[in-house]
Structure 1
Amino acid sequence: MHMLLVEDDDRMAQALATALARRGHTVRRVVRAAEALRHAREAEFILLDLGLPDLDGIELLRKLRTVCSLPLIVVTARSEERDVLQGLRAGADDYVVKPFRMAELLARIDTVRRRSSASEQAGGQRQVRTGDVAIDLAARTVTVDGTPVRLTRREFDVLALLAAQPGDVRSREEILDRIWGDAFLASSRSLDVHVAGIRAKTARAGLVRTIRGYGYQLGALDGP
């Protein structure tokens, strides 16, 4: 797999590039946001540091999400909850705080890659409708009253899982295991952040129904 490593620290970049190469990946390392945008379309996976010399990493993440939907993990020293939430809302598939164990990062890369591949293959040609919301599981698109709504990869993955069996209630643990690959993230706010993002971007608060103390279900909205 061809990795784009956006990292301005030479020692960290060398360690990451070496570990990734040992796993059979090819790595292009860039230092600046402008370089990352230039080479993003050539990559299959992105590792993104937030402390860049020419642009804040969160702003770069937002720009990247306008040109590609590649699997992306933020790897940064920023550990405040505000930073984590910003990264997830901007479209990161995962968020890893430095210092970290290399084995853990490699496992997270494998998980994100596996879940991303599975979500892209899921759904066949099905389109699910609830009220004026149309969810195309194959094309990975959402429209509200005919207007396209841009969700992050993770937001769409959550919505697609609920839409695949519209009447089923999915537990938090199941969603975290199926989408994040780790049911033990249940104590984190990652899932809640993505559900809030779906509701806000579609302007349909009832699109994702909360089953208190258990999980979520696709909401049965009134017709248009």
Structure 2
Amino acid sequence: MHVLVVEDDAATARWLVSGLRKLGYQPRPVHTGAEALAAFPLNDIVLLDLNLPDMDGLEVCRNIRQAGDTPVIAFTEESSEAERVLGLRAGADDCMDKPYGLPELAARIEALMRRAVPTPRLIELRGLRIDAHRREVTVDGAEITMTRKEFDLLYLLASHPERVFPRAELMAQVWQESDESARRYARASRTLDTHVGTLRQKLGARRWIVTMRGVGFRFGPGPAVRTAPRPSYLPSTTPGQRPGAPGRGRCRPGAGVDYGGCS
């Protein structure tokens, strides 16, 4: 997910960009309202500090909203209800006071994007079919029995195939752990790894779930395409030799030998 970070304070921008990258997002920082208006169409969501050096942040928000439906989370340093109301009325989808914590911001981003981009109810890819309504999974037409947590984990990954999910976020969303306890649990427990391993076995291929070392997991491309082996009954040939033609190490027709024993 591409995130536009509009923040004039360099230190805050660096902290936010670093934190978002660790969570699997692709942040792009800009520092002025003019840069924000030029860059927002190429991003999935805008994190907008309303205190900008070149123009009113509320005006930036209004321009983004007039141009389309790109989700916007606004930030205010006033910590007052009046400021948050102004941000929401200018077109922001959500408004937060500074300072704020990264786990809460990440949760608000996810909640906002769930509303902005409906999660698919039916996912089909290379023989894998996930029906969220019936909570059924089939591979090449054969139904795969799964526990509730296995299904929830697979469906979450498959619903966002381009995204890398940190281990702590998977624990938070699938096992409903709080952000802090999820981080501790993800480091100390093998529960997530066990479920991933079981899913790979049931789906018949490790490539359905890809391990991103040191970060987490993402949905994969599925089983590799295999080239069909050469049938054993077809004769081999040497370069320039027609199939079945006599050659070195080959039986010749009429030689009175059993062709089954040729080498």
TM-score, length basis structure 1: 0.51
1:99 equivalent to 2:99? Answer yes
Q: Which residue of 1 aligns with 2:57?
A: 57
Q: Distance in 1 between matches of 2:43 and 2:55?
A: 20
Helix, strand or coil for the counterpart of 2:117?
A: helix
Q: Which residue of 2 aligns with 1:17?
A: 17
Q: Which residue of 1 aligns with 2:66?
A: 66
1:116 equivalent to 2:94? Answer no
* Unaligned runs of at least 5 residues, structure 2: 122-263
Helix, strand or coil for the counterpart of 1:118?
A: coil
Q: Distance in 2 between matches of 1:101 and 1:24?
A: 17
Give the conservation status (yes or no) of the 8 Å contact 2:76–2:83. no
Query: Whose radius of gyration is greater, 1 or 2?
Result: 2
Give the conservation status (yes or no) of the 8 Å contact 1:7–1:49. yes
Deviation at 1:68, TM superposition (A): 2.4
Give the conservation status (yes or no) of the 8 Å contact 1:5–1:27. yes
Give the conservation status (yes or no) of the 8 Å contact 1:40–1:68. no
Q: Distance in 2 between matches of 1:49 and 1:78?
A: 12
Q: Distance in 1 between matches of 2:20 and 2:76?
A: 17
Instruction: Please give the residue correspondences for 1:124-135 in structure 2 after superposition, counting only pairs within 5 Å.
Output: none
2:91 is matched by which residue type in structure 1? G
Give the conservation status (yes or no) of the 8 Å contact 2:46–2:71. yes
Q: Which residue of 1 aligns with 2:43?
A: 43
Deviation at 1:91, TM superposition (A): 1.2
Helix, strand or coil for the counterpart of 2:51?
A: coil
Q: Distance in 1 between matches of 2:79 and 2:59?
A: 17
Deviation at 1:77, TM superposition (A): 1.2
Give the conservation status (yes or no) of the 8 Å contact 1:50–1:74. yes
Give the count of matched residue pairs.
121
Deviation at 1:76, TM superposition (A): 2.5
* Unaligned runs of at least 5 residues, structure 1: 123-224
Q: Percent identity?
A: 42
- Cα shift readout 1:34-80 (whole Å, capped 9, x = no counterpart): 11111111111100001100011111101111212111101221222
Q: Distance in 2 between matches of 1:67 and 1:51?
A: 21
1:114 is matched by which residue type in structure 2? R
Instruction: Please give the residue correspondences for 1:56-205 in structure 2 after superposition, counting only pairs within 5 Å.
Output: 56-118=56-118
2:55 is matched by which residue type in structure 1? L
Q: Which residue of 2 aligns with 1:2?
A: 2
Would you tell me which structure has more helix in proportion to its own residues?
Answer: 1
Deviation at 1:116, TM superposition (A): 1.4
Deviation at 1:90, TM superposition (A): 1.2
Give the conservation status (yes or no) of the 8 Å contact 2:5–2:29. yes
Helix, strand or coil for the counterpart of 2:118?
A: helix
C-alpha RMSD of the superposition: 1.7
2:19 is matched by which residue type in structure 1? A
Looking at both structures, which has the greater relative contact order when contacts are Cα pairs under 8 Å and sequence separation is at least 6? 1
1:102 is matched by which residue type in structure 2? L
Q: Distance in 1 between matches of 2:55 and 2:32?
A: 8
- Cα shift readout 1:13-44 (whole Å, capped 9, x = no counterpart): 11110111011111111111111111111111
1:11 is matched by which residue type in structure 2? A
Q: Distance in 2 between matches of 1:76 and 1:102?
A: 16
Q: Which residue of 1 aligns with 2:160?
A: none
Give the conservation status (yes or no) of the 8 Å contact 1:32–1:52. yes
Helix, strand or coil for the counterpart of 2:3?
A: strand
Q: Distance in 2 between matches of 1:78 and 1:65?
A: 22
